[in-house]
Amino acid sequence: MGKVRVIEIHENVFAKNDQKALETRKELALKDILFINVMSSPGSGKTTALSSLINKMKGEYKIGEMDVDIHTDIDARKVSDATGIETLQINNGGLCHIDADMTSRALEEYEKSGKLEDFDIIFLENIGNLVCPAEFDTGAHKNMMILSVPEGDDKPLKYPLMFSICDLVLISKIDTLSFFDFDIQKAKENILRLNPKAKIIPISAKTGEGMDEWQSWIEDCKKNLK
């Protein structure tokens, strides 16, 4: 009769990633660089919203942006064309996420060019997905996500992990509220039930509504970085 060996593994499978993420956070904080991970589903208006925010803030802050995609550099070029800042494209080889090691290697590219320490704020525009990105710590100081009105106010119930790990949730495209069956109050209740500490800001990149509040939130995070 054959033998079966049973082993128990207690180590967190994400332990190596979490350690790398912690190192990245500390290193960037020492350089006084705020690193923000921006997540959402495809089509939420993430690129447009980020571009609008960067244009509001670039006169006062030196901003870097890294864009994650399975293939192409379309979004990175969109941000660069819309804002005039230099962006960095990360093609993740078909994966549904980016982890702390990938982020660290991307930041090293900025460091090699001597540009990293010039930045005040770096945005990571994560891949469009509400599942995998929520599972991996990227090393960012803050996690935020965008929920667009066309997606529906029940998204927090369908993707609880994503909403539970975010410090900030933007409800975007509020200029389209009259066209969709979206209840902002219900969405807020669903989010806060999962994550009572989440900051929620309704915005419209088209009309500018909520953009000042978003900027203020980022500036507060920057002041409290160390």
pLDDT higher than 80, residue 68: yes
Residue 206 lies in a domain: yes
Which range is least confidently modeled, 64-73, 78-87, 187-196? 64-73
Residue 202 lies in a domain: yes
pLDDT higher than 60, residue 5: no
Yes or no: say if 63 and 121 are a contact pair by the CB < 8 Å rule. Answer: yes
Order of strands, sheet of 63-69, starting from the edge strand that comes earlier in the sequence: 87-91, 63-69, 121-125, 34-40, 142-148, 168-172, 199-202
Q: Where are the alpha helices (DSSP H) in the chain?
A: 15-30, 46-57, 74-83, 100-112, 155-158, 160-164, 184-194, 211-223
Dihedral sign computed on CA atoms, order 99, 102, 166, 18: positive
Residue 186 lies in a domain: yes
Alpha carbon of 52 to those of 8, 10, 110: distances in Å? 50, 45, 23
Residue 99's domain spans which residues?
15-223
Q: What is the CATH number of the domain that holds 102?
A: 3.40.50.300
Q: In terms of Cα–Cα distance, which of 180, 176, 220 is closest to 202?
A: 176
Mean pLDDT of 14-37: 95
Kind plus residue range of the DSSP H or E element containing 63: strand 63-69
Number of helical H runs and strand E runs in the chain? 8, 7
Q: What's the domain count of the chain?
A: 1
pLDDT at 211: 98
Q: Report pLDDT digits (tens) over 91-120.
A: 777 777 789 999 999 999 889 888 899 999
Give the pTM. 0.91
Yes or no: say if 217 and 201 are a contact pair by the CB < 8 Å rule. Answer: yes
Rounded to the nearest integer, the mean pLDDT of the chain is: 91
Q: b or e along 57-89 (b: 16 or more beta carbons within 10 Å of the residue's beta carbon)?
A: beeebebbbbbbbeeeeebbebbbeebebebbb
Residue 10 lies in a domain: no
Residue 24 lies in a domain: yes
Q: In terms of Cα–Cα distance, which of 192, 189, 188, 137 is closest to 164?
A: 192
pLDDT category at 72 given cuts 50, 70, 90 is: low
Residue 141 lies in a domain: yes
